[in-house]
Structures are given as C-alpha cells and as structure tokens.
Amino acid sequence: MTFLLFFACSKSEPQSYEYWSKLVNEKYQEINLLVQSVPCTDIEAFQITKMGASYYLVHPSIKTQFDKLQTELQQLEKERGKAASREGILSDSYMLPNPPVRKVCDQGKPKLIYVQNLSIDEINAELPVRYKEIQEFYQDIPCTDPNEWTSYFLRTGCCMEGVAIHKTIRSEEMVAKIELYNRLMEAKMHLEKVHCEGGCPNMAKPVQCKDGKPIVELYKS
C-alpha cells in the first residue's frame, strides 16, 4: 500500500530520469538484500529465477515478497523509460545473456556461479557436458513439420554451428543452454587468446526435417 501511495504521488507531475534511476537502483538493492536474507544450508531449496538480464536464487519462504518487489521494480523501470523518452536519453544498456553455470552455498549464503568465475580447466570440463545436453535435448521430439522449428547459432570456436529450437516445446530452456554454451566458448577463446580471421558461415537456411531430425544448414552471405 505504501508503495502504491508513493507511486501515485510521484506520477502527479513528471519526474526526471535521474529520479527514477535512483529508485530503480534502490529497488534492486532491496531485492538483493531479500534474497540474501535466507541462510543457505541446502542449495536445492533455492530456485534460480530470471528477472530481466539478472538471475536470483529465491527460497520458497520469500517467493511472495520477491514477486511483489519484482512487480514494483517493473513499474519503476517503466517510469524511468518514459522519463528517458521525454529527456531524449537513448539506452544502450543491452547485455549479452549470461545464465549461471550452477548454484552453491557459500559461507551460509546462496550464490550463483557464472562463466566469468571459472578457470580455464573448469571451462574445458564444462564444454563437452553442455554440448552433449544440447545435442540430446530434442532427441525424443521428431521433426515432421519444419515450420515448427527455428534456428539458433552455437559457437564452436571462431565459427558457428546451426542448432534447431522447437518454437513451442521448452524453447526458453533450450535457448538458455545455448547461451550458456556460447558464453563458455567465448571465455575459453578469450583466456586462450584465440584470434579469428573470419570467413565463417553467418546465415542460416530454414530448418529442414531429415530422417525425423531438425537440420540447420549455414552459409556465408
């Protein structure tokens, strides 16, 4: 109720982009404090929850409160966007997807481990496991209509490999797996100082069904 009253008063006259940005940052801090408030003894009790470009470990005991804060944050970000439009501020804050690799309990707190936290040995150990997951993800889903599938790019080094994603079956889950694999491969290439010359295929043909499997063929434009 307090937030709604405050929100209504704030909308009585247009506020600045800086004003709304400050409130957005404060709401993020409030969310971070909330998710860290539950002691971690069993990491499996925490669910990885995506909010915008960020990921959080949410315990069931705070799920209702987390959802409430998330709604409030979305309202504040909407107002910040309106203020940005009024003031002619262009947002260039797009971030590449960076899904977590795993979740752990660290000194009694829930913690997400990301690609940037891994050593090259850990990355090399993760890559074949994640690749196998992607290759087998749709092995029980036959391809009978290519229009039910779309293509995605999987980084295999300097070049890409085409991967098919079903448009309605576990699509977001598959995309997250591919994005994680791509971040792992990019980190490996960075740490090993790999230099790419280019010349790789950069376009995908429409998905085809061959022997019941979705096939993505790449070509150079």
Model pTM score = 0.82
Spatial distance between the Cα atoms of 23 and 114, rounded to a whole number of angstroms: 27
Q: Please check whether residue 55 is in contact with residue 86, taking contact to mean a CB–CB distance below 8 angstroms.
A: no
Q: Please check whether residue 134 is in contact with residue 178, taking contact to mean a CB–CB distance below 8 angstroms.
A: yes
Q: Which domain holds residue 40?
A: 2-113
> Which residues are 89's β-sheet partners?
none
User: Within this chain, do residues 8 and 104 fall inside the same structural domain, yes or no?
Assistant: yes
Enter the DSSP assignment of 1.
-
pLDDT of amino acid 2: 55
pLDDT at 10 over 60: no
Domain final residue pick, 67, 96, 113? 113
pLDDT of amino acid 7: 54
User: Within this chain, do residues 76 and 121 fall inside the same structural domain, yes or no?
Assistant: no
- The total of structural domains in the chain comes to 2
Which stretch of 43-57, 90-104, 140-154 has the lowest confidence by average pLDDT? 90-104
CA torsion, ordered 180, 182, 183, 184, to nearest 10 deg: 90
Q: Please check whether residue 66 is in contact with residue 59, taking contact to mean a CB–CB distance below 8 angstroms.
A: no
Mean pLDDT of the chain: 93
Domain final residue pick, 113, 128, 146? 113
User: Within this chain, do residues 125 and 41 fall inside the same structural domain, yes or no?
Assistant: no
User: Within this chain, do residues 107 and 121 fall inside the same structural domain, yes or no?
Assistant: no
Q: What share of the chain is helix, strand, coil (3-state, %, to 5)?
A: 45, 20, 35
pLDDT of amino acid 12: 67
**Average pLDDT of the segment spanning 31-53:** 95
